[in-house]
Structure 1
């Protein structure tokens, strides 16, 4: 698992530091034309990571939020908000090899911004974390195999879940967001053009080949969840990789209704029937197998219509407890996809290792 997009807020800055940043950026402001009142004003500076990836630096002088369910705005000394993909800032792309070291990566990022702007910023440990995305990549045999796996998911469709053709799914709520997508199409759309003038054709071709057979899973952890989990507004030094790993697996489990032990999950007809009989006895197993079969063929949305909510969720709970998955089931027992594949981070197909380039870049920022 690697760290990707981050959004960080600095402690308050001296006015002269803020002005130095603003002199390099673009001022954006909103004016109420009826009263002439300035509603907001901030300056944004676009800096460069590796291979011209973008690092956004925004200067602000007010805090907004809600207190007792009422919005408020508080004028403050200046501060900056940084937002970027750490993976792209370090490597220029986010196919494979991203950073697995959060604090050293933020230290590297802060120093890079300081050098580009010629300023001194607060220590990385003191910055407030407003958002952090973690990602995992899974390598399949081909793009078609990635599409088959995505299309074999039998999740419940609702307003929180969106699909993007055959190649992507997203689930968004107020605390987190989960995205699953074919990396090849995303790389071709968003990064290939930027890299064309920076890398040779052979390098680009090799990167596209890897991306074409890759499924990428991203979990966005929003500020509300970070604050809830830590009990305060967390800073960079609070965030651990163990916490990020736990949150990633938690969100995947909620989406798939599977647990994290891929050796325990079964999804073939015979294996499911055998597992249910072992766990619950023949009579109860027959009832649960009927629900599982409907889920595997019709999907969660249709099956949910046939039961009252308490009964439906109890059936789901028992199937999940027994390790019976209804995603990517081949009812004729000839599934070409590995039956024990899941998105959890103990999976053998996961392609997770920090790039040696990143490791070398972060050496000065350890400890």
Structure 2
């Protein structure tokens, strides 16, 4: 694809990268076949190829319309197109750059700006989110049905292991997961404890930065990344062998710290090292002896939802399924597993109608095999699926939890 970047963007720090990505696209259209929004809406502008053209048009003309903004907003950034693309187009990165420029160039309405600001100021902070969840549970009978369904029930959590092992790994405490599904971390800590690994958190670490970064508040997102690196670095120097992340959406972001901070001389090397040591929880368990876990009676029929971030960003599709099969679980078939459930970070809040359509499609696919439970690997997907599912929805690590 030929490009002729507008003079207004010639000095933009990411423009050479954007131009390189644009030129790698050969317009083949394979991506449209696996794009959830294109399949739902049937509009070329709501598929990856069309959105690439919209970004190209913006960068060449220096202008963008509200209609183009709408089509770009509808993108889930699920990156299914990247898995399909024969040319290796890094669409997700291009979308980040394009949306960042768009956000500066085309102001949103006051209401939309306020909503996005609130999401950035609440979701990344467990201390702010927890009271809202408690309030939501107390007032659930008074809430509209769709909103009430979004409020997760409180989780009962077992004690964390107290033993200390020679092998130590760091855990990303996270934000929404720490507040809404705290048992995920507890289950991970107990499972790893049985495998001879101590899982510890650095109290100063928090949100991975994805919420802000994906809402085009890039500098704010980079601030979260730097704070996490500062919190983890002493522990990594002391011998922690990995940073374990149990939410695949967060894992996808931490794996990109090295890229995101490559131009920051104070953090570039540390960020690269952090990305090298970042491991999705499934990557850790894939290499361990699961016979050490008490797995008797775990034979309930289970449907596995593989989040987009796990299969398209981290390229770990099928890994959770392999672990659970090794553990003796019976997995039900899931059609169109590559398609997004509609959660996509804040997408379910910002694009509720389309998100609900995708959720219904995904639940139809997940429950077609008659499972007794659904498991996933990302907190956003877990909460989104649970809001409408007729069977329990859990994080997959909970199925291996010895419960001590």
What TM-score do the two structures reach when normalised by structure 1? 0.25
Bigger RCO (CA 8 Å, 6+ sep): 1
What TM-score do the two structures reach when normalised by structure 2? 0.24
Q: Which has the higher strand share?
A: 1
